[in-house]
């Protein structure tokens, strides 16, 4: 059985709180090194990952871009039957071996679909506790409530109400504590990997990080041939070999100004009397099945280098043969020892051997998403080996505690 609950990525998110973000009316969820969100369609599983993706996007782009990518503030916030717009609140707790941190911000609605940052707070506590803990700032309605002191660069700085301060704090203040929080949040990756995005030859591009749609997959695979990344490349190939019979290797070659990735296959003799050696052939990605390409991209995302703080994957079982899901499950478990892994799924085969502690059951109740641990009686049934999670999902559905 996977050992993920005992794994410890270097920095991980231990808690997410979301209020009025799409269907998340008021949700607080604890996050493990490997967390699997299970629930029916339209229950809000994707909104949990998108809440974290929104935080990531706000760290690496302008805040208004992150809002506009989701259809504007009116589409982002929860609908109010009373006609008064709700404030959107997102908060996370992070932890490393040296510190814990709380970061939160609140967005309020303005006219014509605009927004403003009503509140933003960040507090970092060192381990063991230091006399000057926490290192913190707090801003409300564009005014300082708490600022890192002393810091002359802030005296003349006017806080805009349509931007977050944390991404700017690294450059304005140079405070290592804030830089570590910012780096951890901006280095999260969220993957929807569809083969059409990386099937064809591609021009060389930045190999890291692997883009959310996998468009730079070929460049990432080529970068994994570096001597210091060779173990990561071996993992990608070994897992692909275990999941797809006949796969021997993966390579990347340059043809003119394009990179072409190839998967090498080995074909066994056609009959016991055939004395010929195994035949080998290399096929471009355009010649491979969707399932093979998706597995290659998933394994590359999980074992990319440098590692990512957190990797979120929506329904990794799509296009994958049920017989290969045990291999995918093992890959998720191994990757969770270096990067925090969040997965949404409703595949019984993928769930089958995960321990009950990793599950977060997602339900839609009266138009709002509710998330909780698996019900105790179902956890007991798994611990007593009466059923596995996949069997419970098929028989009665995974049930939420309380």
Q: What's the CA gap between 37 and 347, in Å, rounded?
A: 11
Please tell me whether residues 243 and 341 are part of one structural domain.
no
Whether the full predicted model's pTM is greater than 0.85, yes or no, is yes
pLDDT digits (tens, 9 = 90+) for 241-267: 999 999 999 999 999 999 999 999 987
Q: How many domains does the chain have?
A: 2
pLDDT digits (tens, 9 = 90+) for 310-366: 999 999 998 899 999 999 999 999 999 999 999 999 899 999 888 999 999 999 998
Is position 281 within any domain? yes
Burial class (CB in 10 A: 0-12, 13-18, 19+), 391: middle
Residue whose tokens read 């707090």: 138
Quick check: 371 and 334 in contact, CB under 8 A?
no
Is position 194 within any domain? no
Is position 225 within any domain? yes
Cis peptide before 306 (omega within 30 of 0): yes
Q: What's the CA gap between 292 and 319, in Å, rounded?
A: 8
Please tell me whether residues 24 and 152 are part of one structural domain.
yes
pLDDT digits (tens, 9 = 90+) for 307-317: 999 999 999 99
User: How high is the pLDDT of residue 170?
Assistant: 79
Please tell me whether residues 176 and 222 are part of one structural domain.
no
User: How high is the pLDDT of residue 1?
Assistant: 40
Please tell me whether residues 132 and 280 are part of one structural domain.
no
Please tell me whether residues 143 and 57 are part of one structural domain.
yes
- Which residue from 113, 56, 44, 62 is spatially nearest to 90, judged by alpha carbons? 56
Is position 365 within any domain? yes
User: How high is the pLDDT of residue 175?
Assistant: 84
Quick check: 33 and 357 in contact, CB under 8 A?
no
Residue 71 has pLDDT above 80, yes or no: yes
Question: Which of 307, 339, 368 marks a domain boundary?
Answer: 307
Quick check: 292 and 263 in contact, CB under 8 A?
yes
pLDDT digits (tens, 9 = 90+) for 188-207: 999 999 999 999 999 999 99
User: How high is the pLDDT of residue 4?
Assistant: 40
Please tell me whether residues 155 and 15 are part of one structural domain.
yes
Is position 193 within any domain? no
pLDDT digits (tens, 9 = 90+) for 93-138: 999 999 999 999 999 988 777 899 999 999 999 988 777 778 999 9
Mean pLDDT of the chain: 89
Is position 294 within any domain? yes
Give 28's strand partners. Answer: 17
User: How high is the pLDDT of residue 150?
Assistant: 60
Please tell me whether residues 242 and 323 are part of one structural domain.
no
Per the structure, the complete domain to which residue 15 belongs is given by: 4-187+309-395
Please tell me whether residues 141 and 280 are part of one structural domain.
no
Q: Domain of 113: which CATH number?
A: 3.40.50.300
Residue 3 has pLDDT above 50, yes or no: no
User: How high is the pLDDT of residue 251?
Assistant: 94
> Distance between the two ends of the chain, CA-based, in angstroms?
27
Is position 116 within any domain? yes
Please tell me whether residues 264 and 355 are part of one structural domain.
no
Question: Which of 253, 283, 307 marks a domain boundary?
Answer: 307
DSSP codes, 100-134: EEEEEEEEEE-GGG-EEEEEEEEEEEESSPPTTPP
Is position 179 within any domain? yes
pLDDT digits (tens, 9 = 90+) for 41-60: 889 999 999 999 999 999 99
Please tell me whether residues 94 and 81 are part of one structural domain.
yes
Q: What's the CA gap between 130 and 207, in Å, rounded?
A: 39
The torsion angles phi and psi of 28, rounded to 5 degrees, stand at -125, 125
Question: Which of 290, 307, 324 marks a domain boundary?
Answer: 307
Residue 10 has pLDDT above 50, yes or no: yes
Please tell me whether residues 170 and 80 are part of one structural domain.
yes
- What proportions of the chain, in percent to the nearest 5, are helix, strand and coil? 35, 30, 35
User: How high is the pLDDT of residue 2?
Assistant: 45
User: How high is the pLDDT of residue 5?
Assistant: 42
Mean pLDDT for the stretch of residues 358-387: 93
Please tell me whether residues 229 and 179 are part of one structural domain.
no
């Amino acid at each position: 059985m996977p050992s993920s609950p005992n794994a410890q990525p270097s920095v991980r998110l231990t808690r997410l709180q979301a209020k009025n973000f799409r269907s998340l009316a008021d949700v607080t969820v604890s996050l493990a090194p490997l967390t699997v969100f299970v629930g029916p369609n339209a229950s809000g599983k994707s909104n949990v990952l998108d809440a974290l993706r929104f935080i990531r996007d706000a760290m690496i782009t302008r805040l208004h871009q992150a809002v506009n990518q989701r259809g504007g503030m009116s589409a982002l916030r929860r609908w109010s039957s009373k006609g008064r717009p709700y404030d959107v609140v997102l908060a996370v707790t992070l932890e490393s071996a040296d510190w814990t941190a709380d970061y939160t911000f609140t967005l309020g609605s303005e006219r014509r679909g605009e927004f403003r940052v009503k509140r933003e707070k960040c507090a970092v506590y060192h381990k063991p506790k230091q006399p000057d803990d926490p290192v913190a700032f707090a801003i409300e309605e564009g005014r300082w409530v708490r600022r890192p002191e002393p810091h002359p660069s802030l005296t003349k700085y006017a806080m805009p109400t349509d931007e977050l301060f944390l991404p700017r704090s690294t450059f304005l203040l140079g405070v290592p504590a804030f830089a570590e929080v910012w780096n951890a949040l901006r280095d999260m990756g969220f993957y929807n990997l569809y083969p059409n995005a990386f099937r064809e030859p591609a021009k060389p591009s930045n190999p890291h990080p692997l883009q959310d749609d996998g468009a730079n997959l070929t460049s990432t695979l080529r970068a994994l041939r570096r001597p210091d990344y060779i173990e990561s490349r071996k993992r990608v190939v070994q897992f692909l070999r275990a999941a797809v019979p006949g796969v021997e290797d993966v390579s990347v070659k340059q043809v003119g100004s394009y990179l072409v990735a190839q998967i090498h296959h080995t074909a066994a003799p056609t009959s016991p009397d055939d004395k010929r050696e195994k035949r080998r052939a290399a096929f471009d990605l355009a010649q491979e099945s969707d399932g093979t390409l998706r597995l290659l991209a998933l394994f590359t995302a999980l074992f990319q280098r440098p590692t990512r703080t957190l990797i979120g994957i929506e329904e990794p079982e799509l296009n994958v043969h049920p017989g290969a899901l045990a291999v995918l499950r093992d890959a998720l478990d191994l990757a969770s020892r270096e990067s925090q892994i969040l997965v949404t799924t409703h595949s019984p085969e993928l769930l089958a051997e995960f321990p009950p502690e990793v599950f977060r059951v997602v339900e839609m109740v009266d138009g709002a998403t509710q998330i909780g641990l698996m019900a105790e009686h179902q956890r007991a049934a798994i611990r007593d080996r009466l059923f596995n999670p996949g069997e419970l999902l098929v028989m009665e559905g995974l049930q939420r505690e309380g």
